[in-house]
Amino acid sequence: MNKFIAYLRTKSFRDNLLIAGLVLIVSLLILFYSLRVYTRHGEGLLVPKLGGMSVENAIQILESQGLQYQIDTVYVADKAPGLVIEQDPDPNINVKAGRTIYLTVVTRQAPNGAFPDINGKTFLEAQATLISYGFKVGDTTYTSGVARDMVLKASWGGQVMDRGQLVHKGSRIDLVLGDGKGASEVDIPNLVGLNLNEARLSLLGSSLVLGNVAFESTDSLNAKVIEQLPAPSDTLNKVSIGTRIDIILSK
């Protein structure tokens, strides 16, 4: 042990220790600079700002700079189709040639959504429901009805909309609302033998609302109303304006 301690105090040990330290430092410097050369540290391209331009122009810029791209689409009702709204990496980030730039582009075709049941609801309730389903409120008109601002009919492009029908997200839905000045009760129309559109128009003319629609056959185009609830009878022939009438259709 004493010999080992004595050796540590010799000039030979100090020289060997110094040489070992210098070799380690030189090795680390060589490794560091070799990696810089291998990876071309500090060299690269600045990612251009692509947000807000058309996807065609964005692709042209990326290809001219030797960058790859990958496109994902999303539907945004208030944005023009084909517009770049997001990119990854962000602008002005230094990347190497050939790097893939991920673009989020507004799709050119809106997805379809199932139309909600808003008949018989107030305007504010219907508006909130339409927005939550991805639709917008279009024109509103008033017709005779006992309940002020109650939705009597919803339509898109002139077509009366029923619950569950598929329509493009972002579409503007026109509403017919009650004006609160109508009679309190109306006669119940007899819908038996009518097809779905005829029954709907008959109810609209009576200021009533089409409720649940059920089919007992798969041929819905030729189906006729075989039962309604409520139905006109000796004990019940009038209902309040805005009452929902359920129907069952069969071939």
pLDDT tens digits, 44-86: 788 999 999 999 999 999 999 889 999 988 877 678 888 999 9
User: What is the per-residue pLDDT for 214?
Assistant: 92
pLDDT tens, 25-45? 888 878 776 666 555 545 578
Burial of 178 (C-beta count, 10 Å sphere; 0-12/13-18/19+): buried
pLDDT at 2: 64
Beta-carbon contacts of residue 208 (< 8 Å; ≥ 6 apart): 186, 188, 189, 239, 241, 242, 243, 244, 245
Do residues 177 and 142 touch, judged by C-beta distance below 8 A?
Answer: yes
Checking if the pLDDT of 183 tops 90, the result is: no
Residue 189 clears pLDDT 60, i.e. is over it = yes
pLDDT band at 19 (very low <50, low <70, confident <90, very high): confident
Residues 91-112 pLDDT 10s? 988 888 889 999 999 887 778 8
Average confidence score pLDDT of the chain: 84
pTM of the model as a whole: 0.43
In the numeric block, which tokens belong to residue 182? 């109508």
* Residues 245/212, Cβ–Cβ less than 8 Å: no
**Confidence tier at 137 by pLDDT (50, 70, 90):** very high
Please state whether beta strands 244-250 and 209-215 pair in parallel, antiparallel, or not at all (unpaired).
parallel
d(CA 198, CA 203): 9
Give the number of other Cβ atoms within 10 Å of residue 247's Cβ. Answer: 25
Q: Which two three-digit tokens encode residue 129?
A: 């429901």
Task: State the pLDDT at residue 244.
Answer: 92
Q: Over 90: is that where the pLDDT of 180 sits?
A: no
- For residue 241, the one-letter residue type is I
User: What order do you get walking across the sheet with 84-88 strand by strand?
Assistant: 68-74, 100-106, 84-88
224 pLDDT exceeds 90?
Answer: yes
The sign of the torsion formed by the CA atoms of 110, 116, 121, 124 equals negative
**What is the model's pLDDT at position 245?**
94
